[in-house]
Amino acid sequence: MKVKRVVDATKQIDKFNEFIEVTYKDILPELIKKEKKSLVIDFGVLAKHDHNLAEELLEEPEETIKAAEYALSQFDLKETFRVRFFNLPESQKTIIRDIRAKDLGRFMFFEGIVRQSSDIRPQAISVRFECPSCSQKITIIQFEKKMKKPTKCSCGRRGHFTQLGKDLVDLQRIVVEEASEDLDGGAQPKRFTVFLREDLVEPKMEKRTTPGTKVRVTGIVSEIVQVLPSGEATTLFDLVMNANFIEPVQEDFSEVQIDKKEEEEIINLSKDPKLFETLISSIAPSILGHNMIKEGLLLQLVGGVRKKKQDNTLVRGDLHILLVGDPGAGKSQMLSFIAKAAPKARYVVGRGSSGAGLTAAVVKDEFLKGWALEAGAIVLANKGIVVLDELDKMSDEDTSALHEGMEQQTITIAKANIQATLRCQTTVLAAANPKYGRFDVYKPLGKQIDMPPALISRFDLIFPIRDLPDKIKDEKIATHILSQHQNIKSMEKVIEPEFLRKYISYCKQKISPKLSKTAVKAIKEFYVNLRNTYTGGDEKGVKPVPITARYLEALIRLTEASAKLRLSEDITKSDAKRAIRLLQYCMSQIGVDPETGQLDVDVIQTGVTSSKRSKIGTILHIIDEAAEKGQKTIAIEDIISEAEDKGLDRRTADEIIEKLKKEGEIFEPKAGFIQKID
């Protein structure tokens, strides 16, 4: 049991008076000029000035902070100033899951991500009453949630006192969650409620504590009684923290600490001629093969360069990758490895997720009786990576919430009385199964991805993973898996995940490469030549589009990532070739029109190829010609016969007619006849 230390308030006030006089007196006029409401004191400076006073602050924080504020009030500042402390010693640091009843009254700090923030509400800190009998003024300081009223006056009167006025301060409740990088394995992150008051919720500070921001909270742990629906108090209490100070912590790859020895190792590794082979073999080493996919994942971990244009529009540097493959092909294992190797990652499974859980939600605040904004996975992983497994199991309504987050890298919420835009500079790695559970070898791969084309187009690279019987390959896989089960240490020597994490962090921290003329020329030639490879088409000039400007930006991001991995500030032709090779591989697998054998980006982006669009136009043209001749209804057999004369086979023509009926372009007023809807 903690023994309460007896402190002399008068001595404390004198000590703080002297400390402020010596250390902070010169900045007090600046605080008034800048309309600040508090004096922020560095604990380290206080400890150097008076070690005993610093000890008293840690042991009896409430009384000591009051003494500091009283001492500050004697400097004739004309306004009431609060005293806030930061830079507490490491002995006062804790993690949310370790906070217990023994910590009540303790002055401590912890770090975490703001998961939820409520509306700001005024709270009474003191209420003034008047006795109707003798007119005596009574002031009651309010500490609890329920307003406390005077029970007796010195004149003997009991109850029914007149309320004269009250002093209000702003109050906000935030919920802070443990950061994913602080968790062991797959532990569930714990949450803790924090109350912010007065200047801690001023507009400038409020913007720095929006959901998804990592913060360091310094304060005193206290308890709040749980109340039954009947209004009666229970014997259970909630632990909360009354914040004394809160500061945002920059959360990105720069958090990873790299010492000089590790920096030397990183630089030496970057000079290895077989750098990429070594790094690729270190990605999910338990999975044999899939080197193209692993190379793509490696580039994704590093990412490109985020740019801000002159018109203030942003170009994302994050690479999004989608893996679509047969069950048991190793997708989930690769995803799990990336989730553990990345310095900041959130692992989400499609079946157990919703659009609100991925982006953000507005929830009811039971404490302050208002609405609170709660961040989802893609916001919480800001400047990190979100790993989405079983993306195909999510509904179209839920996946549509990802569109803005993946391209604009913001999440906009306008619900209840909350309108907010949250940042999510987040990389997305997703995995899904084919439409029929397993790839059909007789159908084009692009048509077997059962996801909205608008979402698919957001991914820079899409890798199909097919599990086809192959005796030589199967023998290698079986040997690889069995040897691992025989001896866990039998795996080839690769880079340890911890060092890989530091290598990637170093690349992101230090390297910001720029395109060279040779790299620009290589990318430009590839793009222009591919766009103009196919010169065919029908008489109306309907030609397939092999690649769009969106993939040109993907090429640039891949090229930048390749240069980053080499720790080079200059992007060379070899980086451009690596990016082109990866994109060509993906496009050749899923972006081919099965009828023409040509690359057609519409297979991915719209689900309708250029050749199919051309055939649809042919059928509609036949119907329009009939309408111009005065035929409101036209026999289906006549349309098919005319389509055959123009080179379409009967089956294709019949399929297009059925498609147009489903989409509402035409209808069937009577059996065997159709009419166009005007």
Question: Could you give the CA distance from residue 618 to residue 643 in angstroms, rounded to a whole number?
Answer: 7
Range 204-218 average pLDDT: 74
pLDDT, one tens digit per residue, over 621-663 is 777 777 777 677 877 777 778 777 776 777 777 777 777 777 6
Transcribe 366-400 into DSSP letters: TTTTEEEEEE-HHHHTTTSEEEEESGGGS-HHHHT
Q: What order do you get walking across the sheet with 461-465 strand by strand?
A: 345-349, 385-389, 427-432, 321-325, 461-465
The more confidently predicted of residues 233 and 571 is 571
Planar angle of CA 562, 563, 569, nearest 5 degrees = 165
Range 570-599 average pLDDT: 76
Domain boundaries 9-87, CATH class: alpha beta
pLDDT of residue 317: 83
The more confidently predicted of residues 449 and 338 is 338
With 0-12 / 13-18 / 19 or more C-beta atoms within 10 angstroms meaning exposed / middle / buried, residue 224 is middle
Transcribe 597-614 into DSSP letters: -SB-THHHHTS--HHHHH
CA 224 to chain centre: 32
Residue 609, pLDDT > 60, answer no
Range 263-289 average pLDDT: 83
Range 115-121 average pLDDT: 76
Range 125-136 average pLDDT: 80
Is residue 391 within 8 Å of 331, Cβ to Cβ?
no
pLDDT band at 1 (very low <50, low <70, confident <90, very high): very low
Residue 213, pLDDT > 60, answer yes
Q: List the structure tokens of 123.
A: 């709270």
Is residue 298 within 8 Å of 565, Cβ to Cβ?
yes
The residue behind tokens 């509400």 is: 121
Planar angle of CA 652, 584, 526, nearest 5 degrees = 110
For 260-509, CATH number?
A: 3.40.50.300
pLDDT of residue 537: 47
Which residues touch 613 (CB under 8 Å, ≥6 apart)? Answer: 542, 602
**Greatest Cα-to-Cα distance within the chain, rounded to the nearest angstrom:** 109
Range 577-597 average pLDDT: 74
pLDDT of residue 262: 83
Least confident residue range of 225-234, 241-250, 391-400: 225-234
Question: Could you give the CA distance from residue 400 to residue 385 in angstroms, rounded to a whole number?
Answer: 19
Question: Could you give the CA distance from residue 492 to residue 440 in angstroms, rounded to a whole number?
Answer: 34
Residue 229, pLDDT > 80, answer no
In order of 106, 125, 149, 330, the CA distances from 143 in angstroms are 17, 7, 12, 57
Return the closest-CA partner of residue 270 out of 498, 511, 558, 523: 511
pLDDT of residue 538: 47
Supply the mean pLDDT for the chain: 77
Do the first three CATH levels of 9-87 and 93-249 match, i.e. the same topology? no
Return the closest-CA partner of residue 291 out of 492, 484, 470, 463: 463
Name the residue type at position 541.
Answer: G
SS3 label, residue 470:
coil
Question: Could you give the CA distance from residue 230 to residue 487 in angstroms, rounded to a whole number?
Answer: 62
Return the closest-CA partner of residue 181 out of 70, 292, 389, 342: 342
DSSP code of residue 533 = S
Domain boundaries 93-249, CATH class: mainly beta
pLDDT band at 541 (very low <50, low <70, confident <90, very high): very low
Enumerate the domain spans of the chain: 9-87, 93-249, 260-509, 608-676
Out of 3.30.540.10, 1.10.3430.10, 1.10.10.10, 2.60.40.1120, select the CATH number for domain 608-676: 1.10.10.10
Return the closest-CA partner of residue 362 out of 371, 351, 349: 371
Residue 322, pLDDT > 80, answer yes
pLDDT, one tens digit per residue, over 386-443 is 888 888 777 777 777 788 888 888 888 777 667 777 788 888 898 888 877 777 766 6
Least confident residue range of 3-7, 15-19, 407-411, 428-432: 3-7
Question: Could you give the CA distance from residue 258 to residue 260 in angstroms, rounded to a whole number?
Answer: 7
Range 479-502 average pLDDT: 68
Range 230-235 average pLDDT: 68
Q: List the structure tokens of 283.
A: 């990605």
pLDDT band at 559 (very low <50, low <70, confident <90, very high): very high
The more confidently predicted of residues 516 and 373 is 516
Question: Could you give the CA distance from residue 280 to residue 272 in angstroms, rounded to a whole number?
Answer: 13
